């Protein structure tokens, strides 16, 4: 399979206004002509993905504005696009995708770029036995081992990986929950080719991103300080002279929490292990087996024969300050995180001023690196139950020097049967499809026709002027001074 890369051209919600009536449509005349010419060399599938709205990042914004406005914007897209562009576009091409869909698309994209959907070759080492969904009675299929995906953003954390073996459940309730977390899909040439049927577990945990976790931690600190001060009659954190000692901040750094008109003063203690113990309850782990964050079901992972890539905060935590991005080593990471937390803020600030950290690191990263390192460790090893000796995790921002977006996976998933579907839909649409293409094709002929008419009119006008000029009699010269004389009119 070839390798190609894409980026979202319209990824942000500011491309659409609050209501469709004031929506700055990207389909005005000038832009439409530009895009129409470009479309001749762009894959139909790419055009589809440009219109898919990411629910996990932007869906919440549309939800706040109201479902009616969201539906109106989508309906506006479904109406305008077929009228202005000559490419295959169904109503389902403009939709708000779920977090589960985004996770599946991201998993497909990264595995495609890594070549994990290719057929195995002789001597292939990274293979796995797979019990194909729906064909468990048949012999297991041997194919390339796929890669799992870990992604921690500011608000949410996501995990996605293939479940090659048939899963057994402890109860019918657990089975019902698991069905909503498992996605089964076929990436083969058609529905009859089952060699590329995949069963993928994907879950998004809202509130478990790095920034959201810090916010929850600060709320915990506020409650703890208020309770302690009320019971013991203290004033911890009420003034800068009596700050609350925060184990999750570097040594001696000063910070403040503002809540409800009051300010709580903090001073860093720099205790990495103490920070981990403090934030561990935020994982909401339960005593049930096969569960992860907040007691959500998680099928077992074969850690002896698996591989994961960690993106976003997994990469920032290991690379921006600690400069350990790439192959994850828990012992080295833990030591580096402890040393960083235990370093005085003045020293860290001096290193930052001398440019010793990554160019992506800023003061906000330096201030909360200790907390986020502890949170990443707890989520990975306690929340998702990765063993401390796990060595097959790579933290990365780019793959083959390219940023892999979920949009690539959406293209691959939605266009796997596209040639056949094109033929079927074109036959079904019939004259309607021909009418849609009329404006795109014949507008060009109309333009050139008008141009020729205008050009011909100019030529005829010039010829007429020339004939009129020839009819005027030649001027005569009279007078001694040789001055010209205009002809006399009777």
What is the pLDDT confidence band of residue 137, given thresholds at 50, 70 and 90? Answer: low
* Predicted local confidence at residue 447, as pLDDT: 62
Mean pLDDT of 382-398: 95
* pLDDT tens per residue across span 227-240: 999 999 899 999 99
* pLDDT tens per residue across span 45-76: 444 434 343 444 444 444 455 577 888 888 88
154 annotated as a binding-site residue: yes
* pLDDT tens per residue across span 100-136: 889 999 999 999 999 998 888 766 678 888 887 766 6
* Predicted local confidence at residue 439, as pLDDT: 45
Q: Is 301 exposed, middle or buried (0-12, 13-18, 19+ CB in 10 A)?
A: buried
156 annotated as a binding-site residue: yes
CATH 3.30.420.150 fits 210-395, yes or no: yes
Catalytic residue (one of 75, 95, 102, 256): 102
Mean pLDDT of 315-341: 96
Q: Which residues contact 306 (CB under 8 A, 6 or more apart)?
A: 145, 148, 161, 392
Q: Residue 266: name the closest of 276, 275, 256, 274 by CA.
A: 256
Q: Clarify whether 175 is annotated catalytic.
A: no
Secondary-structure breakdown of the chain: helix, strand, coil percentages, each rounded to the nearest 5: 45, 15, 35
CB 136 within 8 A of CB 77: no
155 annotated as a binding-site residue: yes
158 annotated as a binding-site residue: yes
CB 370 within 8 A of CB 275: yes
* Predicted local confidence at residue 426, as pLDDT: 53
Q: Which residues contact 381 (CB under 8 A, 6 or more apart)?
A: 330, 387, 388
Q: Is 215 exposed, middle or buried (0-12, 13-18, 19+ CB in 10 A)?
A: middle
Pairwise CA distance, residues 144 & 130, whole Å: 10
């Amino acid at each position: 399979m070839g390798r190609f890369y894409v980026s979202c051209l319209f990824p942000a919600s500011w491309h659409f206004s609050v209501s469709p009536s004031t929506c700055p449509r990207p389909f005005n005349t000038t832009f439409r002509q530009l895009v129409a010419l470009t479309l001749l060399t762009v894959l139909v599938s790419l055009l589809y993905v440009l219109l898919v709205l990411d629910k996990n990042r932007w869906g919440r914004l549309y939800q706040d504005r109201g479902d009616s406005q969201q539906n109106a914007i989508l309906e506006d897209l479904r109406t305008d696009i077929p009228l202005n562009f000559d490419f295959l576009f169904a109503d389902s091409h403009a939709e708000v995708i779920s977090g589960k869909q985004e996770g599946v698309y991201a998993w497909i994209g990264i595995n495609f770029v890594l070549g994990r959907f290719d057929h195995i070759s002789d001597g292939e080492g990274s293979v796995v036995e797979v019990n194909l969904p729906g064909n468990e009675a048949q012999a297991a299929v041997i194919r390339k081992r796929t890669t799992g995906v870990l992604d921690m953003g500011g608000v949410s954390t996501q995990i996605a990986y293939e479940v090659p073996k048939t899963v057994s459940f402890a109860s019918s309730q657990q089975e019902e929950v698991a069905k909503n977390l498992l996605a089964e899909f076929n990436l083969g040439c058609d529905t009859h080719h089952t060699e590329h049927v995949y069963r993928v577990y994907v879950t998004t945990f809202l509130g478990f991103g790095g920034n959201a976790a810090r916010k929850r931690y600060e709320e915990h600190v506020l409650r703890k300080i208020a309770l302690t001060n009320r019971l013991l009659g203290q004033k911890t954190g009420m003034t800068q002279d009596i700050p609350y000692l925060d184990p999750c901040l570097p040594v001696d750094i000063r910070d403040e929490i503002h809540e409800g008109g009051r300010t709580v003063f903090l001073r860093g203690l720099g205790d990495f292990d103490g920070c981990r113990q403090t934030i561990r309850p935020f994982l909401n782990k339960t005593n049930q087996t096969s569960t992860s964050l907040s007691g959500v079901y998680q099928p077992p992972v074969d850690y002896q024969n698996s591989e994961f890539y960690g993106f976003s905060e997994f990469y920032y935590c290991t690379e921006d300050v600690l400069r350990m991005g790439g192959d994850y080593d828990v012992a080295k990471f833990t030591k580096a995180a402890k040393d960083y937390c235990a370093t005085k803020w003045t020293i860290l600030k001096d290193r930052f001023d001398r440019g010793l950290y990554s160019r992506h690191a800023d003061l906000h990263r330096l201030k909360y690196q200790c907390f986020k390192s502890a949170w990443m460790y707890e989520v990975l090893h306690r929340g998702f139950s990765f063993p401390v000796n796990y060595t097959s995790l790579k933290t990365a921002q780019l793959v083959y020097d390219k940023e892999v977006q979920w949009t690539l996976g959406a293209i691959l998933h939605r266009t796997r049967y596209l040639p056949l579907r094109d033929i079927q839909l074109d036959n079904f649409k019939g004259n309607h499809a021909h009418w849609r293409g009329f404006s795109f094709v014949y507008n060009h002929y109309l333009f050139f026709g008008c141009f020729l008419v205008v050009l011909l009119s100019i030529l005829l006008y010039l010829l007429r002027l020339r004939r009129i000029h020839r009819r005027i009699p030649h001027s005569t010269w009279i007078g001694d001074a040789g001055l010209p004389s205009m002809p006399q009119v009777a």
